[in-house]
Amino acid sequence: MPGYSNLIQAILEGNDVKCVELTSEALDEGASPQDIVSSGLQAGMLIVGDKFSAGDFFIPEMLLAARAVIRAMETIRPHLSDSEMPTLGRIVIGTVSGDIHDIGKNLVAMFLRGAGFEVFDLGTNVSADRFVTAVKEHDPDIVGMSALLTTTMPNMQHVIATLDSATLLSQVKVIVGGAPVTQHFADQIGADGYATDGGVAISLCRKLLGK
Ligand code: B1M
């Protein structure tokens, strides 16, 4: 198996040009696309997520790293059919009903994409019924909800109850986040996990899916 230390280093530097170059070289040398993704791109993004959570990286570094990984993925995509594309799991994400704050949610979605998850972003002001429809449509492993207002936090519980009524809750893990959300609140409403930021969201989703 080829080493991917240079590729991982390029991800840590947020150098998308180098990332694409090293990915193309690895493909030319006969490395399997799946191996490049799991041992190179996803491994690098895992380190980036940990550094972000530890406060060693900030949002700009995280965004550059995620962009580099996403560009490298675009280089790999033509070499694989959709079903062969390695993914850590499928995530439906949205900001709950009544809430139009999306900067944090967009960051989290981008981090998760960069880490190797397939993310379906429903946008903002997403009703419980819309979450249910999206779960039926995309069959995700995880449903992620964001709320920035204390007045919209209760809508997270409503989504969980609606998923339960539709007998869909048992087939997904639910994670929540957003500035006013806490672990205590997540426990209270029966969510499976809570993340303070995009880096924590990556490790939480991996942990919930045993990856
Ligand atoms: Co609004 N706003 N806002 N606002 N706004 C807050 C949230 C507020 C705290 C400001 C304040 O009063 N100090 C306050 C809420 C008070 C409260 O509920 N306790 C507030 C208010 C009151 C309002 C309005 C009601 C104002 C009004 O109209 N009177 C209104 C509500 C509109 C609505 O939603 N219905 C409103 C509107 C807006 C703007 C449209 C102007 C704009 C949003 C633009 C946009 O998002 N496209 C806005 C903004 C920008 C803010 C502040 C200033 C910044 C929010 C932000 O983007 N932070 C905010 C004050 C503040 O937080 N300092 C405020 C940066 C972002 C990277 O952080 O979103 O926390 P954050 O995301 C983090 C983590 O929380 C976490 O990871 C992210 C990355 O690290 N995370 C998750 C987030 N989602 C996650 C999901 C996960 C996991 C982690 O898993 C699924």
Closest CA relative to residue 22, chosen from 68, 54, 78, 87 = 68
Whole-angstrom distance, CA of residue 135 vs CA of residue 198: 22
What is the maximum alpha-carbon separation in the chain? 55
Instruction: Please report the atom of ligand 1 found closest to the CA of residue 201.
Output: 88
Q: How far is the CA of 101 from the centre of ligand 1 (A)?
A: 5
Give pLDDT, residue 199.
Answer: 85
Query: Is there an atom of ligand 1 within 6 Å of 105 CB?
Result: yes
Give pLDDT, residue 114.
Answer: 83
Give pLDDT, residue 107.
Answer: 84
Cβ–Cβ contacts within 10 Å for residue 37, how many? 22
Rg (CA), the chain: 17
CA distances from 104 to 18, 73, 183, 195 (A): 28, 23, 17, 12
Single-letter code of the amino acid located at 132: V
Tokens of 13: 């530097």
Contact call for residues 187 and 176 (beta carbons, < 8 A): no
Give pLDDT, residue 123.
Answer: 97
Give pLDDT, residue 1.
Answer: 40
Cβ–Cβ contacts within 10 Å for residue 120, how many? 17
Q: Give, for ligand 1, the residue of 148, 150, 174 to mutate: max count of ligand atoms closer than 8 Å to Cβ.
A: 148
Q: What is the mean pLDDT of the chain?
A: 93
Least confident range of 79-88, 104-113, 131-140, 194-203 = 79-88
Q: How far is the CA of 111 from the centre of ligand 1 (A)?
A: 18
Q: Give, for ligand 1, the residue of 101, 125, 182, 197 to mutate: max count of ligand atoms closer than 8 Å to Cβ.
A: 101
pLDDT tens column, 130-185 = 999 999 999 999 999 999 999 999 999 999 999 999 999 999 999 999 999 999 99
pLDDT tens column, 42-58 = 889 889 988 988 999 99
